[in-house]
Structure 1
Amino acid sequence: MSAPALSAGRALRLAALSAAALVTVAPYLWMVSVASKPRDEIFSSSLRLLPHRWALLDNLREAFHRVPIGTLLINGAVVCGAILVIQVAVAIPCAYAMAKLRFGAARLMMGLVLLGLLVPIHATALPLYVAFRRLDLVNTYTGLVAPFSVSVFGIFLFLQFFRALPDDLLDAARLDGMSEAGIVARVVVPNSWPAVTAFAIFSVVAHWNDLFWPLIVVTDNRVATPPLGLFAFRAAESGSDYGALMAATLVITLPLVLAFLFAQRRFVEGITMTGLK
């Protein structure tokens, strides 16, 4: 009697997960559909997912003609890569110190990390812009990267992960004569790739899609990030070219989708905080 009930329960869970996945993927499918349609079908009264006439290549051609998508992708990769490398280089030693070392200010630092999670970038945007303007860092990669060099979320994520590392492993490294810096570089980091991958997905997606700060600090198209490039498709008089807009959005979001599919196993491991294999 238990086998049919188990099968029915599993089928119900699969149906619920499939429905949730369909709801999640639906906007992306609609974006691909609009990118594949000519303008007259986009504004047609009939609601169709597949177009009568495929115009994906025409829309892609128009998108690449309208904006330098290659430059936007390179700028996005440079900015997100620099932010990620600096964030990880800062977060791992800080999190290791708070998780595994005993010192008087540990609780105070933990409180500051939690407090930092409550402060949005919008609250500090104005003083940061004024400071960067005086330092002549507007329209530079430094101006895009510097405000996000320290990630309190990254410190908190690695802190939770490092608490699961066995102390015996670290004590054995100390008995072998390793310094704390050596332990971080040769023991902690090699065992932290699930957490690094999980944090990398969060960081890259957040800063690749960020429009608020680049819209403030960038006015030169040579250092524009991918979201800024999509503003070129706005037209107050003739209306927005939604086919080319969705085609450009498809190209811009495709690297994130591929990166997540490639790293999804490590991402799940990092989120669940399984620690050492």
Structure 2
Amino acid sequence: MMNDTLSPGRILRLSVLTIGAIVFLAPYIFMISTAGKAQSDIFSSSLSLIPQTWFYVENFSKALSRVSMGSLLLNGVVVCGLILIVQVVVAIPCAYAMAKLSFRAARLMMALVMLGLLVPIHATALPLYVAFDKMSALNSYFALVAPFSISVFAIFLFLQFFRGIPDDLIHAARLDGMSETGIVMRVIVPNAWPAITAFSIFSVVAHWNDLFWPLIVVTNQAYATPPLGLLYFRAAEAGDDYGALMAATLIITLPLVLAFLFAQKRFVEGITMTGLKG
């Protein structure tokens, strides 16, 4: 038991994981440290993670007063929530049809899904912007949500998961008189929560942190999302006050960290089961 615990392979794995964790956590640790420093500490010649003078209260007060932080967080929740709901509602029936129903266009649909994974939002940004401008829909939740309402990644992820659900379970539901809609709602969705949770983390993190699209379609600060609000904060209000800027960044990133910690078990389970049942 002792030899297995201290085996070279195990030590190597733990060392690699520790180094990786330090690399990924270093920016966040630096951000927490900077959020509690005065300007003199931030621009001093010596690098120290522990602030010489604790300025957390002052920096967080500036962050909350210089921009409408509550409005930014609310916009982020509304936009990410609407995008996630629409994506899941659209993706689950599509993935179910491709995984469990037989129709002629199944291979074509699969090819389109794979092709869709290769098309970034940047490639369609200009025509989408022109379309929303013609519709007078800029500076609205609709402009922020609509381009992401169909997620080919969600369809692909759910497709891989649904392929692992036994066909006998679906056949039994049909023998009981369930419609295909009933099967999706009462059989597929209750068994798909690990995959839904895993995709929810991907979707919320991606759209909460997205700056590219809001920067294009939003000029009214009333509809600003958290990353766009930070841009306004830095350019218009904060100047070179990096302590307050880091405090604002912490406030905006904290919901993502808490959400991931809360859903971590389901997230790992969903990714593992989706990968094994491909």
TM-score range, shorter chain: over 0.9
Gaps of at least 5 residues in structure 1 are: none
Other-structure match for 1:164 = 164
Post-superposition offset of 1:10 = 2.7
CA change 1:238–1:220 in 2 (3 A) is closer
Separation in 1, partners of 2:236, 2:224: 22
Separation in 2, partners of 1:140, 1:92: 27
Other-structure match for 2:192 = 192
Aligned 8 A contact 1:233 1:241 in 2: no
Separation in 2, partners of 1:34, 1:272: 37
Post-superposition offset of 1:6 = 4.8
Other-structure match for 1:68 = 68
CA change 1:236–1:172 in 2 (3 A) is closer
Asked whether 1:91 is paired with 2:91, we answer yes
When the two structures are superposed, what TM-score results if normalisation uses the length of structure 2?
0.95
- Deviation string, structure 1 residues 113-165 (Cα, Å, up to 9, x no partner): 01111111011111101110111110000010000000000000000010111
Q: How does 1:103-252 map to 2 (within 5 A)?
A: 103-235=103-235, 239-252=239-252
Deviates more, 1:115-124 or 1:13-22: 13-22
- Deviation string, structure 1 residues 16-60 (Cα, Å, up to 9, x no partner): 212211111111000000101011100111000000111011111
Deviates more, 1:229-238 or 1:179-188: 229-238
Other-structure match for 1:257 = 257
- The CA RMSD over aligned residues, in Å, is 1.8
CA change 1:165–1:201 in 2 (3 A) is same
Other-structure match for 2:58 = 58
- The code of the aligned residue for 1:213 comes to W
Separation in 2, partners of 1:237, 1:21: 34
- The code of the aligned residue for 2:186 comes to R
Specify the SS of the correspondent of 2:6: helix
Separation in 2, partners of 1:49, 1:4: 38
CA change 1:16–1:206 in 2 (3 A) is same
Q: How does 1:24-63 map to 2 (within 5 A)?
A: 24-63=24-63
Aligned 8 A contact 1:66 1:232 in 2: no
- The code of the aligned residue for 2:35 comes to A
CA change 1:236–1:171 in 2 (3 A) is closer
Deviates more, 1:99-108 or 1:4-13: 4-13
Separation in 1, partners of 2:181, 2:33: 52
Post-superposition offset of 1:64 = 1.1
- The code of the aligned residue for 1:113 comes to V
Other-structure match for 2:6 = 7
Aligned 8 A contact 1:230 1:248 in 2: yes
Specify the SS of the correspondent of 2:51: coil
CA change 1:140–1:261 in 2 (3 A) is same
Length, aligned pairs only: 275
Aligned 8 A contact 2:170 2:183 in 1: yes
- The code of the aligned residue for 2:164 comes to A
- The code of the aligned residue for 1:271 comes to I
Aligned 8 A contact 2:67 2:229 in 1: yes
- Percent of pairs identical after alignment? 69
Aligned 8 A contact 2:218 2:224 in 1: yes
Aligned 8 A contact 2:75 2:224 in 1: yes
Aligned 8 A contact 2:113 2:155 in 1: yes
Separation in 2, partners of 1:204, 1:198: 10
- The code of the aligned residue for 2:256 comes to L
Post-superposition offset of 1:231 = 1.5
Gaps of at least 5 residues in structure 2 are: none
Aligned 8 A contact 1:233 1:240 in 2: no
